[in-house]
Every structure is written in C-alpha cells, then in structure tokens.
Structure 1
Amino acid sequence: MAFDFSTLNKQYIDGTWRDGRSGKVYVDQNPYDETTVAEFQMASIEDVDLACQAAQRAQKEWAKVNPFEKRELFERAVQIIDDNTESIARVIADEIGGTFVKAMIEIMLVKNTLKEAATYPMRMDGRIIPASIPGKENRLYRLPVGVVAVLSPFNFPFCLSMRAVAPALACGNGVVLKPNEASAITGGTMIAKIFEEAGLPKGLLNVIVTEIGQIGDSFIEHPIPKVISFTGSTPVGRHIGEVASRNLKRVGLELGGNSALVVLEDADIDQAVNASVFSRFAHQGQICMCTNRVIVHREVYDIFVEKLVDKVASLKCGDPREQDTVIGPLINHRQVELLQKVVDESIAQGAKLAYRGPVEGNVVGPIVLTDVSEEMTCARQEMFGPAIAIIPVDSEDEAIRVANNSDFGLSGAVHTSNLERGVEIAKRIESGMVHVNDGTVNDEPLVAFGGEKASGVGRYNGEWALEEFTTVKWISVQHEKREYPF
C-alpha cells in the first residue's frame, strides 16, 4: 500500500470513502510553501450521526471477535506502517511541516502504541470477588464502553490520534475520529487507510473531517459515544468537559502545558542544554510537553545561557523535507503572529533577547529570552513555537516555587548530579510527569501519560488506557436459595 493524497481526501464513514454533506470545502495547505495538499468536502451534522450509528452497529459484532484475531489485526497495522515509513514521513512533512526527525519519532511512537494495543484484547479479564451473602458468587467483567469519540490536534496528529484510536478499538469499541482539519490526513484519513488495509471490519472506525462551525457541539453531544477523548487547548478542553458532563459522558482530556525544566547548581550543564534545546525546539516547539520555561540556578546561569545560545544558533531552519532541517514551519500565519506577540510583550516587560532568528513565511527562527521573571507573558502562557524563556533563581526551593507558579502541570524535568535529590524535587513539582536528567518531551507506551491542574484529566498508555476505554460490570450469581428478611 502506498499513501496517495488523492485517495485520502474523503470522509471515511461506514467503511466507504465519500464526500461530506456540508457543502463547504476545506483546503488543506502545506504550511511551508502554502501549496494545496488536498481539498475536503467537509462533513455535516448528518455525517456525524451516520458515523456514530455505523460505529455502534459494527461494535456489536467486533466485541464478539476472538482476541487472537484482534491482536493479529494490530500486528498487521504495524507491518503496514513499516512498509510505508517513507511515504508517511512525506505526508507528515507536507501536511503539517514536520521535519524528518520529528516524523521518525512520531512513527516510532505510533508503532509502540499499536504494539501495546495489540495486548489489550488479551487483558479484558475479570475477577471473582467474595460475597457476604451465603451461596452468592460475585463476578466482575471488563467490557467495552461501546463507542468512543476522539478529537485530535494538529501538532502530533498521527501519534495523538492513534494514542486513543488504537486502545479504544483494541478494547472492543467502535470509534469516530475527528482530526483537526489542518492535519486531516496525518491525523485522520491515513489512519483509516492503515486499518482498512489491515482488515478492520467496515464501520468500526469512522473519520469525519470538518470544522466546528459546520457541526457545532453535535459530535460531543451525540448520544451514542460514551467516552470523549480530546487532545488540544485548555479552553476547548474546558468546553468539551462541560458539554460532556451535561450529557453524563466520561472524558479524557490532555490539554495545554507550560513545562518547566529546572537546572540546579550541580547539574551537568552540557546535558541540561541538550535536553532543553531538544525539549523546546522539537517540531518547532509545537508539542504540549515542550519546555516553555528553563529555571536555572544563578550559580550556573551565565554559562548555561552561553552554551544554549551557541547550540540554538546552529539549528538549521527551513524546508522540513530536507533531512537535516531542525526547525520547520509553524502550522499557519496565525500561530506565527501569536508567538511574536508573546515575545514582543515579554521584551517590553523587561526580558532580554539573547537570540532571535529570522522569520521567513511560517518558518520562525529560534528565540531565546533571558532574565525572565515568572510574571512575564512568556512565562505565563504556553508559547507554541520555537521560543524559550530562561528564569534565574537563587535556591532549590525558589526553583520549585517558580515551577509550580503556573496554571498548568503536564510535564517537567530536573537536572542535578544527585539523582535522589532530583527525585525528591520531582515529587514536589505539581505535574503529571517529571523526568530527572532528561527533557520534558517523553512518551512511553507502558507508562501513564497525563497532566494535573489545567493540563487535563485522565491518563493514556498501558493499563491506564485500558481503564479509560472500558467499563467494569458486576454480575452476581446466587447458587443457593437465598433467605430474604420479608
């Protein structure tokens, strides 16, 4: 199977490729050269309903499929990705401006997700629990929830769509996926094609491509999906959570971040610099876990800044299709403008500009802001782009306080030569994930992934994804006649 843009610009509903019914066209553009990648006839509210109904019908049969057969399907999906790595990397570059390194990381993460999901059909086990009533047997069964609705973002769409889609399917559910329209192929129709080629039953996975203006809240209000999985901004996540709660739906929300990387006075400075640069400038800083703030002990502040600026200045910017490019384009002009606004505001507030690369189209050269205080805009807001804020502190306690002075709590990191000191500091940082002597950008298929505070609720990966996409049902069996009080 070879991926061809011309075959992936349709809705995928009930196992068929078709145009949407909204009457509106979405033009999917390459963010680097602004050429047209594909055009989609966008989906309507009617398409949403058809997709949900198809998933519900197909799920009833899918739940009966032998778990060994389900496992083999996910193994075939991994092989399809292996056979098409080059084509997938090209799609990631052309549609969302992902560099070669970014594409390889994303493809690796997707394969790991699928391999872990392949184990879930074998883990839909139950328990027998003692009963207080004579002659009773209490059984607990782990069952699919039915249909899962998935909304994914534009930044890591192949990975972040698959992170919910694969576990949900593997647990026996039907799925309706709405990717961000800017990543409709990478985060949506390409995934449908992979599963179609792998032999997934028709109707079980549906992909709708549209703008919220065409469907409103119909996707999250629809009565069929029982779980809503959303990855994206905190304001949108809050809205989805509110609407879902009114409709008594479960939600998994992986939202924004403002990750802090702490560099203590005894840190390996070169290692801390490398971790900071990778964790900030991977995929142009368009990753929710990206290091937004580097909090550096004043004893090593100057040398850290000097080494970081030297490394940042060496990063190649430009065409993501060239394999040595590190910083490609932001997704659109709006994101470029938003980033520059935050940077300019922070400079006006007293931040110093240690380095600023040129801006060419949607490609923004790296930006390093120093002498940042915790109340500046760049320290308060998530900068979804290649800009980093460096904050000096005088002590370990101050570093922890500054790290926690944020509404967000997704990821974090601590650099120190004393590993147990690092662990104790990590425990005090209010974040769902903290890494000692590493960067803030990490994802493992077996480890709980998720944030605290405004960074979301719920956890993905491993046994935690199994919990998110299943329900537990109590069935009791009364083996002996029971005596009732009346």
Structure 2
Amino acid sequence: MTHFSFDQLSKQAIGGKWREGQGSIEMNNLNPYSEEVIATMTSASKDDLDQAYESANEVQQDWININPYERRDLLLQAAKVVEENHDEITELIIEELGGTRLKAGFEIGLVTNIIKEASTYPLRMTGEILPSPVDGKENRVYQEPVGVVGVISPFNFPFYLSMKSVATAVGAGNGVVIKPHEDTPVTGGTLLVKIFELAGLPKGLVNSVITEISEIGDRFVEHPLNKVVSFTGSTVVGRKIGEVAGRNLKKASLELGGNSALIILDDADIDYAVSAAVFSRFTHQGQICMSANRVLVHESVKDEFLQKYKNKVESLKVGDPREEDTIIGPLINKRQVETLENTIEKSIEEGAVPLVRGEVKGNVVTPTILTDVSPNMSVANEEMFGPAVAVTTFESDEEAIEIANASDFGLSGAVHTANTERGAELGKRIETGMIHVNDGTINDEPIVAFGGEKMSGVGRLNGSESLEAFTTKKWISIQHKKRQFPYS
C-alpha cells in the first residue's frame, strides 16, 4: 500500500494525528500545468497551530533522551524511506509544483544528502571544558537543542528547502512545526511528516500546519514555544518575519531572494559557458533563488556567446512536466506569470532588446532573452522567478565587478575564465554569499555554508552552520575549591 498519495497527505499533521483543520478557509491544491484541483483541505486555525507547537515541545523531551546512536539510525532510516519511494515522490513533485522529472530527481538527491548529514548531528552535540582565571573553577560549555524550531518553506523546491531545516533541526535534538507554502502543502509539509513517521521517529515530533496568514496572523513566528524560525522565500516576506522575530527576541534564519550574475570573461570556454548559463537560468523554469538572472558577457565574445546561447535556449523542450524530455514546465501560478510578464514588458519599454521573446500558454512561459540591458533597468534589479534572462556586456574585469555589485541582492554567482585564479580573485570582490568559478550559479552541498549577503538573507545553513543555527550554548561552572570573595 502506498503511503504517498494526495488523498492521504492532504490533511493537517498535528500531534501524531492526521485530521482536518479547524480554520475557516477551504484551500485548493492546484496542479500548475493542468490547473486542475489535486486536493482540498480546511486551513489550520490558531488553536491547531498551538497544538502543533505543544506537541513538538512535548515530544522533543522524549526525543532528546533517546540514545544519540539510535537517533542517528532513525534519521538514516528516513533517508532510506526517501530512496525507496523515489518514484512516488517524483510524481508528487511533478503534480504539485510542475517540476520536471529531471528537477524531481535533482531535488530528491538533495533531500537524501541533507538527511544523511543531519544524521551525524546527534554524535556531534559535544561540549567544551575551558580554563578559568579563578582558581579551582571548571568551566563546562554544553551544546543543547533550542527546543522547538518553526520552519516556513517556499513553493519552488519545497521538499528540499523544508527538509534542509527540518532534518537538521531534528538531528540537533529539536521538535519542529512546518508551515509549507499554500501552493505546495504536501511536498513542503505533510510528505516530510509521513517520511519521519515511516522511519520510526516519535509521532508528533514533526508537525505540519497548512494555513493562510489571514487565518493565523503572526502567531507562527510569535508563538512562545518557537525558539528559532527558519524561513526560505522572498525578501519582502523575509523582512516581515525578521521584524516579528526581532520584536520577540527570537533567532531567525532567513534565506531570501537573489539576482545572481554569471560572468563570462574574455578567455572563457564559450561552449561550456553557454551550457552553464542555460542550466543556471532555466532549471525549474528559473524558479530558483540562485538562478542567474543576469548574464554578464565580455564585449569581445558577446556575438559568439549570444548566437550559441540563443540556439541552445530555443532547443529546450517546453511543456508538460510529466514527459521525460521536458526541461521547462509551468510556473507555480498565474500571479507569478503576470509578475514575470510585467517585469519583461517594463524592461523592454526601458530599452532592453528581446533576442528571444517568450509566449504564455496557461502557466507555461517559453524563454525570453533580453539584451542591451543596463544596470538601472527593472529586469536587472528585480528577481525574475521565471524563464527570462538579462544579458549585459562589459569591457573590463573592474566593470564586471561594478555591474555585479550594483544589485541589492547577494546570494550566488559564477565566473567563467581559463584562468581559475583570475576568477577566484574576481569572485572575492563580488558582494555575494557564494560564487563558483567555471560552474553554474545553482549549487547547494550538505556540508558547505549556504546563505546570502545584503537583501539575500541573514545567517547560513548546511553542515556545522545548521548545527549552530538550531542549538544553543549553556555554561555550567563548578567551583572545586572555595574561592575568596571580595567581601563576606
């Protein structure tokens, strides 16, 4: 019997039970390609949310008392559950968010890797014994879970971007409440709960509430049991979450938007750079925060690059994500389509020249390549969450750095050159959290610090960074012999 169907997973997963929400909104989960309703559910209420946090808090006390080696094994079992159900999870990703089969496989691989990394955390929760200037004192510093972590995930890579925080928070000894994006409630929320249940983790340790902000307001972030909030999504929403968390003196990890630049220097391998640029912009229809919104190409190789780039982009199959060879499927909803189209049209009015102009059919948008883009145009300053790219030329390394840094964002980037040290030195001067020499802008590895600068976020995740994000330190000192106080 399958455990991964929309009928089974389209419920609130709270306190180890699967049930309807007690809210007032009927939520429809739509297939973005067919625009048909996959499932309907009733939103979670504030009371449901309270129950989810209470469950996570209560069960966390049991979870942290399980032997660390057993917790490790349970997390490894969760990774095995994902691997054994690869095909069923693939279908969920295709149906719920319009991901292609290629994208689904990529996302599932990221998920298994991050769970395996999280499985090492129970054995890495170590402490320190530190010296003291006070005679006879022993200083012990313990690393402890924060207790309960609230995770808010986006619609673009919901399975991975939820699991990236959920698995590592659980590995660090915490309970979790997930609020997935309303467009991806299953792959971003309830699917994860089911995986951990099947792996044998205590029921109610991980909970998922499917709801709208109009139903719960700021309660998800403000809740007193929520000690750390981990958000991945837009900068606009991230700013709001950061403000609410700050008012409530909570730690917030914010992975936000991007406007990454892929830079092609005059000595680059153009054929290879074309492949990297296509992958960096059009994977999952460009709905990735690390996508190369901007391609900066040296004037001397512009003509060769643009011709080869155009040919490659026009060869990409666009359409039904269920078909094996589809590269570009639908955007998540009509709002995203309209936002993309408005940005493109505004930039054309500002002087951008369309080398290729995309067409819209439902939520499917064919690629757009805009050339002659200047740094002040809308398309160069706004994150385009779709299959459109802005191409700008430059004449020197200094100019490339200046253009790349003109953005308010600073998440990822790439530099293509025959001289890797030239690329590395240039990368050091770009204000971004990550940059890759002779590669694409889309990279995420389980043990390497991931995060952005400027408007692209606060904090880092993955590896030791996630362990740090979801734990706290406690100092316990022991005075082994009586100390002399200044007065008695």
User: How large is the Cα RMSD of the aligned pairs?
Assistant: 0.7
Q: Secondary structure at the match of 2:293?
A: strand
Give the TM-score normalised by structure 1: 0.99
Q: Secondary structure at the match of 1:291?
A: coil
Distance 1:84 1:173 in 2: 26
- Partner amino acid, structure 1, of 2:256: L
Distance 2:412 2:258 in 1: 7
Partner residue of 1:285?
286
Distance 2:270 2:346 in 1: 29
Distance 1:106 1:199 in 2: 23
Shift of 1:483: 1.5
Partner residue of 1:385?
386
Distance 1:58 1:2 in 2: 23
Instruction: State the Cα deviation string for residues 56-102 of structure 1 (Å, max 9, x = none).
Output: 11111111111111111111111111111111010000000000110
Residue 43 in structure 1 maps to residue 69 in structure 2: no
Deviating beyond 6 angstroms after TM superposition, the runs of 4 or more aligned structure 1 residues are none
Partner residue of 1:11?
12
Instruction: State the Cα deviation string for residues 137-193 of structure 1 (Å, max 9, x = none).
Output: 000100000100000000000000000000000100010000001000000011111
Partner residue of 2:310?
309
For residues 57-136 of structure 1, what are the structure 2 equivalents within 5 Å?
57-136=58-137
Instruction: State the Cα deviation string for residues 304-336 of structure 1 (Å, max 9, x = none).
Output: 111100000000000001010000000011111
Shift of 1:364: 0.1
Q: Secondary structure at the match of 1:206?
A: strand
Distance 2:50 2:7 in 1: 26
Shift of 1:362: 0.5
Partner residue of 1:436?
437
Distance 1:414 1:202 in 2: 46
In the alignment, structure 2 segments of 5+ residues that lack a partner are none
Any conservation in 2 of the 1:410–1:451 contact (CA below 8 Å)?
A: yes
Instruction: State the Cα deviation string for residues 272-296 of structure 1 (Å, max 9, x = none).
Output: 1111100100000000000000011
Distance 2:224 2:359 in 1: 49
Shift of 1:357: 3.4
Any conservation in 1 of the 2:24–2:215 contact (CA below 8 Å)?
A: no
Distance 2:310 2:97 in 1: 27
Any conservation in 1 of the 2:232–2:256 contact (CA below 8 Å)?
A: yes
Partner residue of 2:330?
329
For residues 472-483 of structure 1, what are the structure 2 equivalents within 5 Å?
472-483=473-484
Shift of 1:23: 2.6
For residues 439-454 of structure 1, what are the structure 2 equivalents within 5 Å?
439-454=440-455
Partner residue of 2:459?
458
Any conservation in 2 of the 1:71–1:121 contact (CA below 8 Å)?
A: yes
For residues 232-251 of structure 1, what are the structure 2 equivalents within 5 Å?
232-251=233-252
Partner residue of 2:347?
346
Partner residue of 1:413?
414
Shift of 1:5: 1.0
Q: Secondary structure at the match of 1:251?
A: strand
Distance 2:346 2:476 in 1: 60
Instruction: State the Cα deviation string for residues 172-228 of structure 1 (Å, max 9, x = none).
Output: 001000000100000001111100111111221110001111111011011111100
In the alignment, structure 1 segments of 5+ residues that lack a partner are none
Any conservation in 2 of the 1:2–1:87 contact (CA below 8 Å)?
A: no
Any conservation in 2 of the 1:413–1:436 contact (CA below 8 Å)?
A: yes
**How many matched pairs?**
486
Give the TM-score normalised by structure 2: 0.99
Distance 1:25 1:365 in 2: 32
- Partner amino acid, structure 2, of 1:135: G
Distance 2:171 2:235 in 1: 28
- Partner amino acid, structure 2, of 1:462: G
- Partner amino acid, structure 2, of 1:80: V
Instruction: State the Cα deviation string for residues 355-386 of structure 1 (Å, max 9, x = none).
Output: 12332110000110011111111101000000
Partner residue of 1:33?
34
Partner residue of 1:225?
226
Any conservation in 2 of the 1:2–1:84 contact (CA below 8 Å)?
A: no
